[in-house]
Every structure is written in C-alpha cells, then in structure tokens.
Amino acid sequence: MKILICPDSFKDALPAAAAARAIAGGARRAGGDIEALECPLADGGEGSLDALLAATGAERRSADVHDALGHPTRADWGWHAGSRTAYVELAEASGLQALAPDERTALHSTTFGVGELIREALDSGAERLLLTLGGSATNDGGAGMLAALGARLRDGKGLDLAPGGAPLADLAELDLQGLDPRLAGLRVETAVDVDNPLLGERGASAVFGPQKGATPDEVARLDAALARFADVTAATLGEDHRDLPGAGAAGGMGFAARAFLGAELRPGIELVMAQAGVEALLADADLVITGEGQLDGQSLAGKTPVGVARLAHRHGVPVVVLAGRLAPGWQAAFDEGVTAAFALADGPMALDEALARCAELLADRTEGLVRLWVALAAPRP
C-alpha cells in the first residue's frame, strides 16, 4: 500500500516536514506492506520556502534586511542556480509571526524587506522569481517593496512618504524612474493563499487588518489609503488591478506584484504542488493523507488540504485530512474531493497540550486510520 503524505504546517505546533514525519511514522506502525512517501507542502503562507527548497533542491541563502517595523533582521531565501530561479517568502522579511502581539501595527508596517530580498535575487542573476505572500504583518499595498527597489512615493509637497499603509492616503506622485531596470527581465510568479480583492468588505484591510493590529477605525483609514494608492497607480500605469482576485493578499502585495512586477498570481498550493511534482506522485498512490491546523469553510479558498484533494480527486485517489480542529463549514470539503476528515484530539485538552502533543496525536490518528484502511481493503476469508 502506497501512501502519499503531504501536509501543511500545523501552526504554532509543527512545520510541514515534521508533520509529514509524524504521519509517516504512524502509518508504518500500522504494520503490513506500507510505503509512506513524505512530501510536505504549503499554500503560500509560512513554511512555503521550506517546502519549495525540499521539493526543488534549491540552495538556502540568507540576507540582512529590514523587518516589518524597519528593524534589522536576517531572512532566508532560495536560489536554484540551474534554472536561475529565486524563491522568496514574504513572511521571512515581513512576517506577522516575528512580531509580538503588542508590536503589530497595520498602519505603519512595511514590505521594504521583501524588496531587499528581491534585490538580492537580482544581484545573483535571477531570471525567474517565485514569490509567496502568506503570513504578512503588512498592509502597505507593496509600497515598501517598491521603495526598496528604487521607486519614489511622494506627497503633495514632493516629500517621500513614511513607511506603512496609512501614509498612502497622502500619495500624490508615484515616480518609477529609479525602479531597478533588471526587473524588466524577471519572470515573476506569485503564490497567494486567498482570492480577496484589494479594497472593500472583502479587501485586504477589512479582512486581514484586524489580525495585524488594526482597530475598526484604522481599517477604514487603511482601506481609503489603499484606494488612493490604487488610483495613483492606475493613473501612472494606465491599468487597474484593484479588483483582481488575490490583489488583497498580504495586505495588498498581490496588487503590487501584478501591477509593478507583471506577476502571474496563482493559488499557492497549486504552485507549490507543481514544484513538488505531486501530480506524478499521485500516479502510484493508493491513499493521500494531508492536513493542517484547522479545516473549515474558508479552506476552500486555497488552503493545502483542499488543494491536494482537488488534484487527487482528478486522479481517483482517496484523501484523508487530519486537522487540529474541524471548524464550522468543514463539511464543504467533501464536495472538493476529501474522502474523510478527523480532528486530532483524543479527549478534552487545553490548546497548549494539543500543540505540545501534535506529533504524537498525528501518529496515533494515522495508525488508526491506516489499520482500518488495510482491514477494509483485505479480501474476506
């Protein structure tokens, strides 16, 4: 029996590779002729760089950049010399998880560090960039990234804007003359894990601003500031991408990637699966086990378990999801190719205990379901 194991990370508990190891260990404990192939994945959020490096054999590099608050930090990125491809995960430079709850400020956080990582890639001779956008602490529409790459954003007095999303309300001029000319020869693919537009009730500020520290009044300010940015961008470029699905990803970085880098926006899980060769692996699989911290109705927007299930369904391979929690709306995953889904907890427990025992619980649940699967597949005497 061949089992393809391709989970995402279990947030605050296990990275995807560790989750895959735990699941594989549980499968082998079930005994019998079990072949477990580990293929950790990600959907564009935190952990995407690790998944891409594991899938492609690319070299891990690091650079001194600035974090979302403008403080010096060290960020990793990936380099595949053979294909001249760079892998940049936004969360490495401008990630929310790097900030304490009381440090989170959607008004002033910046994507400047992401632009610095892209410069590093250009300095290495990159011809292709794969940029993943999940897990951001920012709501600046990618303005910080543009500044790091040589653009100038000025107010009505000709002064450069301060970092962050809120100052975009005063944007009067977008000067692209200093934008790094090497970008013209760079093919950019952007992995997004949401399909939200830039503005409005489903936009970057309204949906994701609160988790980045924005109050309701600040959400309104940020939405208006991004609208101003979109207006000036449209006037400057002659095209408007504010309503593009995924434009609202990472506080508007999807918008900037498409408008200024000419990026193709793709669901992150599809892009990562393509890099990992998951479709070819499915040809020999009898069962797929995937999972992440929570399965709910929002998972259909592009989260790893549903992306895996959709692809596996096309190949007729059953899919089991293991999730830390099954939240409202999770049953909709059945319509997307999920065969069965199970929560990990083996009894009432506090969140801290569940996080600490995540590997153990994954192995135990996997052993149980594989034993059942083998028994059902065995011929009757």
- Band of pLDDT at residue 195, cut at 50, 70 and 90: confident
Residue with tokens 């079990």: 34
For residues 6 and 21, what is the distance between their CA atoms, to the nearest angstrom?
A: 10
Q: Is the pLDDT of residue 160 over 80?
A: yes
Model pLDDT, residue 64:
98
Question: Residue 350, exposed/middle/buried by CB under 10 A (0-12, 13-18, 19+)?
Answer: exposed
Instruction: Give the amino acid at 226.
Output: L
Over residues 119-127, the mean pLDDT reads 98
Between 31 and 364, the more confident residue is 364
**Integer Cα distance of 44 and 195 in angstroms:** 12
| CATH 3.90.1510.10 for the 48-269 domain, yes or no | yes
Is there a contact between 224 and 252 (Cβ–Cβ < 8 Å)? no
User: Residue 11: CB partners within 8 Å, gap ≥ 6?
Assistant: 46, 292, 293
How much is the average pLDDT of 18-31?
Answer: 95
Residue 55's pLDDT band (boundaries 50, 70, 90)? confident
pLDDT given at position 346: 84
Q: Does residue 227 have a pLDDT over 80?
A: yes
CA distance 21 to 24: 5
What order do you get walking across the sheet with 287-295 strand by strand?
A: 35-38, 2-5, 287-295, 319-326, 340-343
Q: Quick check: pTM over 0.85?
A: yes
pLDDT of residue 43: 87
pLDDT at residue number 11: 84
Residue 97: per-residue pLDDT = 85
Helix (H) or strand (E) holding 372: helix 358-377
Instruction: Indicate the domain borders of the chain.
Output: 2-40+286-377, 48-269
What integer is the mean pLDDT of 317-332? Answer: 95
Do the strands 128-132 and 187-192 form a parallel or antiparallel pair, or are they unpaired? parallel
The per-residue pLDDT for 4 is 98
Which ranges in 142-251 belong to alpha helices (H)?
143-148, 204-208, 216-237
Given a cut of 80, whether residue 272 has pLDDT beyond it is: yes
pLDDT exceeds cutoff 80 at 301: no
Mean pLDDT of 3-8: 96
Question: At residue 173, what are phi and psi to the nearest 5 degrees?
Answer: -140, 135
Tokens 């962050």 sit on residue: 164
The C-alpha atoms of residue 218 and residue 208 are separated, in whole angstroms, by 12
Residue-wise pLDDT for 240-264, tens only, equals: 999 999 999 999 999 999 999 999 9
Please report the pLDDT score of residue 149 as a whole number.
Answer: 98
Arithmetic mean of pLDDT over the chain: 94
CATH value of 2-40+286-377 in 3.40.50.1820, 3.10.150.10, 3.40.50.2300, 3.40.50.10350: 3.40.50.10350
pLDDT at 251: 96
| Structure tokens given for 37 | 């192939």
What band does 44 get if pLDDT is binned at 50, 70 and 90? confident
- CA-CA distance, 268 to 263, in Å (whole number)? 13
Q: What is the Cα–Cα distance from 64 to 74, expressed in whole angstroms?
A: 5
What's the average model confidence in pLDDT over 90-112? 93
The residue with tokens 């990600």 is 42
At residue 377 the predicted structure's pLDDT band, cuts being 50, 70 and 90, is confident
Structure tokens at 332: 């909709």
